[in-house]
Structure 1
């Protein structure tokens, strides 16, 4: 009989996107169950990855009553299913499932850290988030930062002892599917048609950003830098792919106005498939304030695009400055502007072996097998803390 593995994320988008096809891979070795909040993408996990799913509504924001309800539901599920491993991702799912699995006597309670929102908060909220992070780690048996930079931050903040921490492979939660993210899948005719549809000239230089349209992704700085570039370079375009979060982390009103009114900024919303947009772009501009190990930077690189990224953990582990992109100080519109202008003036041909750099370090099959090896190293021990 296969041992049970339960993977938990706060939202269905994370279970479907962050762990794309990983649950299917693991189902060859475990009986896998996916848990997240209700959503169409939870059903996608069931259909496309062929695993059982259980909806448990979880709020990303602090909501004591909803959190207690979710905690109890998770506890009852874990008591009933008796999994060998509960492995969580994302902050709220981590907190709730680590506590619930502890009291349900799950022997192996694993949590992957893919970013620390607390790094951009201050005051009482920061103290609360620090406490929550420590609590999550205290109830876990293993904690996996998905970058070496995150591991250092966790240790610097004394959230956990080093012997409970481990970075798997070269980092990343899921690696990159090189067969899927391949620029050769898109013909010149395909690219020409999409550029025409988006009113992009054949000689226009296209910057792209993929991710949540929020302040801590550096979107305010990106839009400001791009609009300044437009004063000198009219043959440039900016593609923005992602959703706004007006309640959790809204953009500045001035930024919203510029996105709405600048004809050279194409806001395309959230897209199921970002590859066609990478295929018509010249460079990823990703000036995020904080990350775990950003999939979008790996995806862009696999599609042959160099990236401008902030000098933060994850980003500065994927990008090798001057080789497959450039690294700039975070929250600096000036440095972002200068790097974008340099790319416009001198092109991107100086960045060599962009796709090869990603393939050599972050091939998805390597990451999956490293996680599987970690699971295989575990032995039943209900007393383990």
Structure 2
């Protein structure tokens, strides 16, 4: 079978979906990956893995209907020319327009992945309300054109089912994107406490809470390291360079920018911190668990799926810097607890989040096995 894997962000095809696409190929299927970045830059990188790559136009965060129409037409043309047997698609805009383009071409085997609902469904204000209302209409149409819909947490399922956007019989729950346990292996803890945040520098990821907490912690424990890895972003909630600069200049955080391989940084930390407001299931947390690290994250959709509070880490309230600081200080002073939590993280990663098991669930849901 020919399977199209469609995303609005080309890099995520590599970082989140490569293991899945490789498994598709291992089972005898051909794969075409679609993303927004140029074919000249990415074609050879995909070809190494036996995957074709095609560029599509995507304005990820824009609200211009003409840009969205252009995207829909490109996807419709692709469906007509390539005639994929099955489509796996994620990110809001690509879910909507790929599903509708597939329907226009009589393709019924469409499988969206809702990997977190994002800030629109949980935000406030008039603009947010208008965008959410439109998005709900489009999602309903997209899900009508889909055979099944994958989710990564029950919170997101409840929101969309309660809105009446899809019936429960179309819902399939999977354990995130999984983590490759052959690539992310347990590492010994460093001698001194060190914290690490990995993710896009978005305020919805809790980046400001992390920075403020690090500032407070460093006042009492100046020797403790607070590391930060991740790119700036075009999202409206993105952190601006000048906002981060003061924390770098004061020696509060060590900023390493975007990294293709995060394992060297996971090796240097003892506690991984992600105070996000909402996720699907955060892959960075899964990778930290596989490396055997204690976790501090929020009691928020997607995040709470990764931590048993007090077992492999702590769940703190959203936007609660004081509680975050409290847990960071406690782990600084209790290395034995960090060691126990790190071991439990590894156990949970093996039992629940092994990418091989996640990919098996996806292929079963897509009727590929």
Structure-to-structure mapping, 1:80-229, within 5 angstroms = 80-117=81-118, 118-122=120-124, 123-132=126-135, 133-168=139-174, 171-172=175-176, 174-184=177-187, 204-229=192-217
Q: Does the 8 Å contact 1:32/1:52 carry over to 2?
A: yes
Structure 2 runs not aligned, ≥5 long: none
**CA displacement at 1:242 relative to structure 2:** 0.5
Q: Which moves more between the two structures, 133-142 or 144-153?
A: 133-142
CA distance in 2, matches of 1:114, 1:240: 23
Question: In the superposition, relative to structure 1, how do residues 150 and 114 fare at CA in structure 2: closer, same or farther (>3 Å)?
Answer: same
TM-score with structure 1 setting the length: 0.87
1:301 and 2:289 matched: yes
TM-score with structure 2 setting the length: 0.91
**Match in the other structure for 2:78:** 77
Q: Does the 8 Å contact 1:12/1:41 carry over to 2?
A: no
- The CA deviation string for residues 317-370 of structure 1, in whole angstroms up to 9 with x for no partner, is 111111111101111111111111111122213424221111111111111122
**Match in the other structure for 1:357:** 348
Tell me the secondary structure at the aligned position of residue 6 of structure 1: strand
Q: Does the 8 Å contact 1:224/1:255 carry over to 2?
A: no
Structure 1 runs not aligned, ≥5 long: 192-201, 379-385
CA distance in 2, matches of 1:35, 1:252: 29
Kindly tell me the number of residue pairs found equivalent between the two proteins. 358
Tell me the secondary structure at the aligned position of residue 165 of structure 2: coil
- The CA deviation string for residues 261-309 of structure 1, in whole angstroms up to 9 with x for no partner, is 1224111000000001101101011000110011011000000011101
**CA displacement at 1:70 relative to structure 2:** 1.4
**Match in the other structure for 1:64:** 65
**Match in the other structure for 1:199:** none
Question: In the superposition, relative to structure 1, how do residues 299 and 86 fare at CA in structure 2: closer, same or farther (>3 Å)?
Answer: same
1:26 and 2:24 matched: yes
**CA displacement at 1:160 relative to structure 2:** 1.8
Tell me the secondary structure at the aligned position of residue 78 of structure 1: helix
Question: In the superposition, relative to structure 1, how do residues 32 and 84 fare at CA in structure 2: closer, same or farther (>3 Å)?
Answer: same
CA distance in 2, matches of 1:98, 1:247: 24
**CA displacement at 1:246 relative to structure 2:** 5.5
CA distance in 2, matches of 1:57, 1:25: 27
Aligned Cα RMSD in Å?
A: 2.2
Q: Does the 8 Å contact 2:72/2:101 carry over to 1?
A: yes
Question: In the superposition, relative to structure 1, how do residues 258 and 119 fare at CA in structure 2: closer, same or farther (>3 Å)?
Answer: farther
